[in-house]
Amino acid sequence: MNGHVIVVDLGYGDAGKGTIVDWLCASACRPVQAVVRFNGGAQAAHHVLAPDGAPHPFAQFCSGTFTPGTRTFLSRYMLVDPLALVAEAEQLARKGVPSPLGLVAIDRGALLTTPYHRAVNQARERARGDGRHGSCGMGIGETAAYALDRPDDAPRGGDIDSPRKMHGKLERLRDKALADIAAIEGTVPMTLPRAADLATVYREIFARVTLAGDGYLTGLLRSGPVVFEGAQGVLLDEWRGFHPFTTWSTTTFENAEALLAEAGASATRLGVTRTYQTRHGHGPFPTEDPALHVPEKHNKDGRWQGQFRVGHLDAVALRYGCEVAGGVDAVALTHLDTAERHAGGLRICRSYRIDGEVHAAITPGPHRDLSYQQDLTTTLLKARPGYDDTERLAAEDWPGAVAEILRAPVVIRSRGPGREAKTTRLLAAMSR
């Protein structure tokens, strides 16, 4: 791989983006200059095997960090949690990565996720009870919502240059958080860190990373290959996902391509999918099958996210995800080892039955029309999967089947989390 690549999960997340990014960085013909994180925040958990064989759930550091010299750039579209970044750096240092924070650059415009956002997020989710949206409880949605409501008060990376400005923003944010928590019925009073103390800690953290401004990414792109690592999945997109069971983040290729366009560059669009479907928490999942026994070491029921759910591959939803993402140039297909273990047992849903009618496609609505997405969610909660009872796929059938569904070649095949479990048939587009 000599060119730039954008890695996006076409489903509900957890398809193995991290292992694909790790492999791309380790196997590139020319060293990857950096991996750019272009959506989400510290709630990501991209599991990659460290050199000692133990897994690491990459959150804000890029999934290519175990390849020496690979830098992480947290773009302006990232919601950066400085405290979580330090905690992850300490984990990586114990796993042999020297001076992890020295590998990180943070865009001046990146929003900061604070303990105040996290406290409000968790209070709201507790109050929702059985009506939870599937939050990770890490303040991501609160960070985005506060910035929309009070754009001038939202703390950003560049505010670190002005201690007075940073302190003032944190003070106002803390006051708002305490008021919001007090207004939530049944919530007990909480003690939150003082704004002055938090501002001091942030200054210490930012002294150990690079604060990046205009031109930083352009320089990286001109120096060699850059990988853009997405978080979550297209079916959870804030505008195209099944509202309200979505994330406060654009999970398509959109943010990455905006960054590339500013630098006059382009990249290969690499979509990632499994040989079966998974989802955390509530929301539509037509192909969910409780009888499908595929336990996963790193995916469990979560306190905030809720139940970890498993089902068969949903070609209808996968095509929808690909369409609203603008299409893909190539596909990385993961969990082929599961297809081998369950030969003939994993199925593909090619249509839905809804209120007695058969539907072979999900029709995208107008962009940023949440009312349409809400109606779509209501409809999909009633959908039942349609399978061809004569179709029984062997492991070797899956790449061809997925390529047909997405109308793009499967160029990376993964049979496990390690680099050695990946094989490739690289396109010319991925070597430009």
- Side-chain-side CA neighbours of 321 within 13 Å: the count stands at 29
Where is the binding site for Mg(2+), in residues? Answer: 14
**Binding residue numbers:** 14, 232, 247, 309, 335-337, 414-416
Catalytic pick among 9, 14, 81, 159 = 14
Alpha helices in 184-253 (DSSP H): 195-206, 216-223
Q: Quick count: other Cβ atoms within 10 Å of Cβ 375? A: 13
231 Cβ contact list (under 8 Å, min separation 6): 13, 17, 37, 39, 40, 41, 43, 44, 46, 249, 251
Which tokens go with 132?
């939870």
Helix, strand, coil percentages, rounded to 5, for the chain: 35, 20, 45
- Residue 152 is among the residues annotated as catalytic for this protein: no
Comparing CA positions, the residue from 9, 17, 7 lying closest to residue 321 is 9
Residue 387: other Cβ atoms inside 10 A? 13
Q: Please state whether beta strands 357-359 and 79-80 pair in parallel, antiparallel, or not at all (unpaired).
A: unpaired
User: Residue type at 171?
Assistant: E
Instruction: Please state, in angstroms and rounded to a whole number, the distance separating the CA atoms of residues 106 and 75.
Output: 6
Q: Which two tokens stand for residue 81?
A: 């949690």
Annotated binding site for GTP: 309, 335-337, 414-416
Distance (Å, rounded) from C-alpha 331 to C-alpha 405? 11
Q: 428: how many CB neighbours lie within 10 A of its CB?
A: 8
Looking up tokens 């039955």 gives 353
Residue 68 CB partners (closer than 8 Å, separation 6+): none
Positions at the binding site for IMP:
232, 247
Whether the bond into 244 is cis, omega within 30 of 0: yes
* Calpha distance 251→352 (Å, rounded): 25
Question: Token pair of 139, please?
Answer: 């303040």
- Three-point CA angle 394, 395, 401, nearest 5°: 80
What is the C-alpha to C-alpha distance for residues 178 and 210, in angstroms, rounded to an integer?
A: 32
Active-site residue (options: 4, 9, 22, 46): 46
Active site residue 14: yes
Report residue 69 as tokens: 């010299």
Closest CA to 15 of 312, 366, 355, 279: 279
Residues recognised as catalytic: 14, 46
